[in-house]
Structure 1
Amino acid sequence: MRSANTRSVIRGCGSYLPEHILTNDELSKRVDTSDEWIVQRTGIRQRHIAGEGETTSQLGVKAAQAALDAAGLTADDIDLVVCATSTPDFTFPATATVIQHALGITKGAAFDVQAVCSGFVFAITTADKFLVSGSHKRALVIGAETFSRILDWEDRGTCVLFGDGAGAVVLEAQPGDGSLEDRGVLTTHLRSDGAHRAKLFVDGGPGSTGTVGHLRMEGREVFRFAVGMITDVIEDALKALDLTAEDIDWFVPHQANRRIIEASAQKLGFAPEKVVITVDKHGNTSAASIPLALTQAVSDGRIRAGDLVLIESLGGGFTWGSAIIRW
């Protein structure tokens, strides 16, 4: 039963990165590129690559278990699993159900959300609706990707950008007083516009080519649209709570490109020291990037209980979204 002013509170977070690290120097032996070229344009220095036979669900299971451990909870405490991914193990069943079974979760529902790099923000928003409605009590929200499997490793414009990994949070429905001081998800804002499909997409699928396909991107066009779209949903989030950039303790953006992150932060007035950046070590891990960055900032002591955290992302489609969370 729903309590008045129920909030979806983050109880714990966790992450997992494959063991294999692929550096820019190693990549330069495969395609016509260099460490200097990649760092100057993207800020990326390395990325993790899933091993042979290492699946998206396996990464997700390890991240989810770490989140459960951090929350002091077990599989029996979870009644909802939402997995954001664009690189599922199978066309079906949903990767969330594979993770659910591997963890021993037997209650409630499990399903995937597909919004590419915005997937984690969309998944958090979706799980929040379930929890505040009173239909479910605790949710595992996971972002897990093996983008290395859909890259054209001869295309230097895309293969240098992406990596593999997974991150997860445990959300729990808790009563609040309806104020800005409540812990949990305070506001979420989602957008999409299918007119931009050709700027960032995969050129295959079961309903079209019958193949998995490869990622294709018009990098300059994505960069041109990204900052404006990101600004849109962040301004909406701040306005919804009558906040300014100065009120936010930590800005945790999707880790796609350091130049996009820095341009967005500067335009919106976020001080550089408030911006969490992990793209240099992880590359763009799509739906996994925000929970990976959150877990890093929690584990190193930056994000603490009571902090106001703003997350945002933009992905293929285009999709974009934001959320403000009291930690």
Structure 2
Amino acid sequence: MSVTRSAVTGVGSYLPENIVTNDDLSKFVDTTDEWIVERTGIRQRHKAADDQPTSDLAVQAALRALEAAGRTAADIDLIVVATTTPDMTFPSVASIVQRKLGAPVCNAFDIQAVCSGFVYALSVADGFVARGLARCALVIGAEEMTRLMDWTDRSTCVLFGDGAGAVVLEPVEGQGTPADRGVLGFALRCDGNKTDLLYVDGGPASTGTVGHLRMAGNQVFRHAVVNIAEAVTAACEAANIQISDVDWFVPHQANQRIIKGVGDRLGLDEDKVILTVADHANTSAASIPLALDTAVKDGRIKPGDLVLMEAMGGGLTWGAVALRM
């Protein structure tokens, strides 16, 4: 039976020029490079310039994804941006990206699921493309998490950075089997009872301020390993594949210990795990497409490979997606 699936036809990413190393942080926060690397695997993060909003990062990643897909802004008919750090309360980053790209009038909106945002956004865009409602969708994860940091809190400020990643989704015809190219299966979750484990202590309808990120790190770690493993298993079931079938595991780049914990729980071969957290820290919704682009560009992920992606973030939200490149 012939089915229409949404396939990733181009990937791109962007990191701001300003690099902040662990040693840089140690000059004004009570921390050391050794402490950060041992607990997180992070060695540096990128920080956007004061006059460089999230939409600027998103546009650069989008242009690179479009180029990789052999498309231009004129081809776009859907823009979905996953972000928790928008330029403004409104309009959406997606609408600003549309203007900056010079894209035609189309469907454009933001998704807010924090670190899980890219997986959520991909699922939404997949629905449009697979149903024939879009033929060239731009899905972007873009964040400036450094804007939310309390730079006196060493338990959080060392963990996050800024960046953006994007993919182009286009329809392809398949036979309805796991051998098809494109998105094969999803699992999305949220447990609002755990909002107090990872949140920002501000907002327009509460304090009228942006606020700072707060996290109960140990509890988040525990929930992440268990919840992500369950979502990955569910996504594999939805895609009718086995964990052993997966060629590459592209996790949310939050913490190397979490990634290892999930991998161990699932019995994943470490050689199949894409790790980029050392180079850009936790970039929230941007981290999966950043890691995906790295592995595509260096030749590890090739056309036809089965890729599994996962994330967990504030909400708590979490999810996983299986796709064939």
Q: Provide the TM-score with structure 1 as the length reference.
A: 0.98
Find the aligned partners of 2:319 and 2:29 in 1 and give their Cα distance: 33
* CA displacement at 1:266 relative to structure 2: 1.0
Aligned partner (choices 53, 66, 85) of residue 55 of structure 1 = 53
Aligned partner (choices 162, 167, 170) of residue 168 of structure 2 = 170
**Contact kept in structure 2, 1:80 and 1:107, CA below 8 Å:** no
Corresponding residue for 1:72? 70
Find the aligned partners of 1:269 and 1:56 in 2 and give their Cα distance: 37
**Contact kept in structure 1, 2:82 and 2:140, CA below 8 Å:** yes
Corresponding residue for 1:289? 287
Corresponding residue for 2:86? 88
Find the aligned partners of 1:301 and 1:211 in 2 and give their Cα distance: 44
Structure 2 alignment gaps of length 5 or more: none
Aligned partner (choices 35, 40, 43) of residue 42 of structure 1 = 40
**Contact kept in structure 2, 1:5 and 1:175, CA below 8 Å:** yes
Corresponding residue for 2:147? 149
Find the aligned partners of 1:213 and 1:179 in 2 and give their Cα distance: 46
* 1:301 corresponds to 2:293: no
Structure 1 alignment gaps of length 5 or more: none
**Contact kept in structure 2, 1:44 and 1:283, CA below 8 Å:** yes
Corresponding residue for 1:267? 265
Find the aligned partners of 1:70 and 1:241 in 2 and give their Cα distance: 26
Find the aligned partners of 2:219 and 2:278 in 1 and give their Cα distance: 22
Aligned partner (choices 240, 244, 247) of residue 245 of structure 2 = 247
Find the aligned partners of 1:146 and 1:135 in 2 and give their Cα distance: 31
**Contact kept in structure 1, 2:186 and 2:239, CA below 8 Å:** no
Deviations 1:64-121 (A, max 9, x none): 0000000010111110000000000000000000001111111321000000000000
Find the aligned partners of 1:193 and 1:58 in 2 and give their Cα distance: 32
Corresponding residue for 2:214? 216
Deviations 1:18-60 (A, max 9, x none): 0010000110011000001000100000000001211100000
Corresponding residue for 2:133? 135
SS of the equivalent of 2:204 reads coil
Range 153-162 or range 169-178, more displaced? 169-178
Range 69-78 or range 306-315, more displaced? 69-78
Aligned partner letter, 2:162: D
Find the aligned partners of 2:171 and 2:218 in 1 and give their Cα distance: 41
Identity %: 59
Deviations 1:178-224 (A, max 9, x none): 11111110011100010000100000000111110000000011001
SS of the equivalent of 1:51 reads coil
**Contact kept in structure 1, 2:150 and 2:157, CA below 8 Å:** yes
Find the aligned partners of 1:139 and 1:325 in 2 and give their Cα distance: 16
SS of the equivalent of 1:18 reads coil
**Contact kept in structure 2, 1:310 and 1:324, CA below 8 Å:** yes
**Contact kept in structure 1, 2:239 and 2:322, CA below 8 Å:** no
Aligned partner letter, 1:87: T
* CA displacement at 1:243 relative to structure 2: 2.4
Corresponding residue for 1:257? 255
Q: Provide the TM-score with structure 2 as the length reference.
A: 0.99
* CA displacement at 1:135 relative to structure 2: 1.3
Alpha-carbon RMSD: 0.9
Moved over 6 A (4+): none
Find the aligned partners of 1:173 and 1:107 in 2 and give their Cα distance: 20
Corresponding residue for 2:320? 322
* CA displacement at 1:246 relative to structure 2: 1.6
